[in-house]
Structure 1
């Protein structure tokens, strides 16, 4: 169940973290199952509201019957009926208000549950699961939570009330005369035709529309993410033309989904008119034959007016249902992302780590990657990893930091097979610095990452080791300066060093540096390298580089295949 959580080793882990392919309705059932107690209460209230709603036609029937029978105590009876009607309507109003209150808390809990699940799930998503996707654009599907909240509330409050009130009203009609029972059956068959036959393909059409909507949003993100790319006249024209094409695709998808909804609405309006006219004719004929009283006819018209008239509202409920199914489908793109394993040993090992790689292979859909790499690195050894562009240096480091799972082969850290270790334990021993991953937060937050083992002083020491402390202290708020995603107001070089400070602050046993030194100017590279390879540095070091001076400073140079140079 995607949102049922259990706690395992400090994580709130979904019970089933494997990818699965649920239909929107199956996923909706899983999402709503924890809310079943409140949904049941709302359903019970809807039954009560439906029963109390009959107070209007029943009191009207009683009043008409009294007038028709020549009752002399009219004033007193009208007062009694009015008081009874007032009490019934107040009770129905109280139930409706309480249902609204429960629906509000249902929406809040649904939001919290999905946020909690995604906040735990997304950091643990396998890197391979995001291959072919742009992560930030994929997370845009989260905003369908709001659609899901509103649509679910509409269906619970309005849609459920329409169905229950209609069923109760039609049941009352069936009791009055067998012909009215036949009328009910014809009406129910027509409603089934409206919902299932005319609505065939509605959910899929709405999902297709949603895909087109997110394609437009993704292109808008591309435009704002690459502002300098689209500054020229030709590139602006291209951006506008592509936006136009995507907009046309959306409008066509929107038209397809609306056509299905519109034919349901039109049929509902026609059914309302036909049912009201048919009931009037049938009821009048029964009155003429003295098989139905005038009061029952008036009450029946009121019941059908409410029941069939609600078909107008049913159009809104059907649209909400389509929106709900589409939103659930989009959330499935996030909830189905395959997550990393949580089990494994958690040995407590300190000091520089040893590393052994044997017959390690990995490929991207059968192309590139690493092919049967084998080597051993002793504790506190300083090793350079080199090779031509595309030779697999970064891929090998991604495998060594457990960012990807190898296709075959073994990685042993401190003599233990990495597959037997929990990923938490493994990553406490292994740290990597390479790709700039600065998130929206303070400089201190970007170093500590919430790790209790990294204090303020240790964060400052890490900044000092990477030659960044003085530059940070010159900022108006110092180490508490807020950074935006990407690193601003830090420069690219400063952001790279911040990534290195983050890695060394946790005192890893194995430090992996991916092309970071190659991006530095020579003097800064020399000082940073001296810090990394210092004899008292408490880590084993692997540096991916193509710089001759960096390779010369290391004790050994290997290639992604494991060959020694």
Structure 2
């Protein structure tokens, strides 16, 4: 669906890189302002720096508005493409592919396009911005003192391990949860489709019994999926508290030991807060990534169905043997 949208997606990524870099000018500007003020300069230089920081923030905001506009256009295109893709494929699907399948129920997968639409802003803007802020923040911190390089290494290792150990389980439970969600919808459709049969049967618990089974399975895997999310969120909170406290102590010690200035300390702590918040945002966005991958997988159950051959066979009627009846030659 997004294969032909590379130009707009590349533009969104470029905007994200610029916004990520500009967001780091705030701590650098504060560092410079503190340095000037502590040096006794209160006038033109300080005002110029304040103006530069404000302009950077405004420019960053304008780029974010452009990002949102491009993502909105992508959302519209994705919906339209999915609608026409389904419409084109449904009449051409091989009949044997639908044996044992209730085709109208299969079309419910189209509604997963809404999950794709909702996930696009998060994945293209928030996740990208978080990754860029983490990368550039770590690079900038390493320029203040070599000790901060360890912070960068810890950040990369923690995020990698958290994703590596939890992402497969989270995606698996999300897929199974979605499967039972569609089974619930299918059973409701079956009840409505055979409404008069149930009325003729009189008082029966079959609809409720079947629904109870499906809902229990849905809730079972929803709980498992949420447990994975809790582990992810818990890791993010622990990482934030641990790193913030550790680097506050480290920064204070470096200032007392005169290895960094007060301005550098303030700037480094602001960058650390930005990086830690970006890590928290990145881990928190994994749920959206699960939803996106699950939606694409469910839509694939329709778009991946084999299609009938659209071309026929050409027969050369002039090559019919002479001994065949004349009716075969006309």
Do the two structures share a fold, i.e. TM-score over 0.5? yes
Number of residue pairs matched by the alignment: 320
Q: Deviations over 1:16-57 (max 9, x none)?
A: xxxxxxxxxxxxxxx433222111111111110011101211
Q: Could you tell me which residue of structure 2 aligns to residue 327 of structure 1?
A: 295
Instruction: Report whether the alignment pairs 1:283 with 2:235.
Output: no
Q: CA deviation at 1:233?
A: 5.1
C-alpha separation in 2, matches of 1:46 and 1:58: 19
Q: Could you tell me which residue of structure 2 aligns to residue 34 of structure 1?
A: 4
Q: Could you tell me which residue of structure 2 aligns to residue 51 of structure 1?
A: 21
| Mapping 1:238-387, distance limit 5 Å | 238-345=206-313
Q: CA deviation at 1:339?
A: 0.6
Q: Deviations over 1:218-243 (max 9, x none)?
A: 111111111112235532x2211211
8 Å contact from structure 2 (residues 184, 215) kept in 1: yes
Q: Deviations over 1:503-531 (max 9, x none)?
A: xxxxxxxxxxxxxxxxxxxxxxxxxxxxx
Larger strand proportion, structure 1 or 2? 1
1:120 to 88, 97, 100: 88
Q: Could you tell me which residue of structure 1 aligns to residue 33 of structure 2?
A: 63
Q: Could you tell me which residue of structure 1 aligns to residue 146 of structure 2?
A: 178
Q: CA deviation at 1:318?
A: 0.6
8 Å contact from structure 1 (residues 57, 303) kept in 2: yes
Query: Larger C-alpha radius of gyration, 1 or 2?
Result: 1
| Mapping 1:501-512, distance limit 5 Å | none
C-alpha separation in 1, matches of 2:221 and 2:166: 18
Instruction: Report whether the alignment pairs 1:165 with 2:127.
Output: no
8 Å contact from structure 2 (residues 31, 266) kept in 1: yes
C-alpha separation in 1, matches of 2:76 and 2:287: 22
- Gaps (5+ residues) in structure 2? 316-325
2:189 to 221, 224, 249: 221
1:142 to 106, 110, 129: 110
Q: Any idea what SS the aligned residue of 1:51 has?
A: helix
Q: CA deviation at 1:315?
A: 4.0
Q: CA deviation at 1:316?
A: 3.7
Moved over 6 A (4+): none
1:74 to 39, 42, 46: 42
8 Å contact from structure 1 (residues 124, 340) kept in 2: yes
Q: Could you tell me which residue of structure 1 aligns to residue 119 of structure 2?
A: 151
8 Å contact from structure 1 (residues 64, 295) kept in 2: yes
- Gaps (5+ residues) in structure 1? 1-30, 348-377, 380-413, 417-565
Q: Could you tell me which residue of structure 2 aligns to residue 471 of structure 1?
A: none
C-alpha separation in 1, matches of 2:202 and 2:262: 77
C-alpha separation in 2, matches of 1:184 and 1:310: 13
Q: CA deviation at 1:186?
A: 1.1
8 Å contact from structure 1 (residues 209, 250) kept in 2: yes
Q: CA deviation at 1:344?
A: 2.2
TM-score if structure 1 supplies the norm length?
Answer: 0.54
Q: CA deviation at 1:258?
A: 1.1
8 Å contact from structure 1 (residues 58, 299) kept in 2: yes
C-alpha separation in 1, matches of 2:226 and 2:293: 15
- Using CA pairs under 8 Å that are at least 6 residues apart, name the structure with larger relative contact order, 1 or 2: 2
Q: Deviations over 1:102-140 (max 9, x none)?
A: 111111111222222221111000110100110011110
Larger helix proportion, structure 1 or 2? 2
For residues 181 and 126 of structure 1, do their structure 2 counterparts lie closer, same or farther at Cα, with a shift above 3 Å needed?
Answer: same
C-alpha separation in 2, matches of 1:253 and 1:164: 34
Q: CA deviation at 1:283?
A: 1.3
TM-score if structure 2 supplies the norm length?
Answer: 0.92
C-alpha separation in 1, matches of 2:49 and 2:255: 24
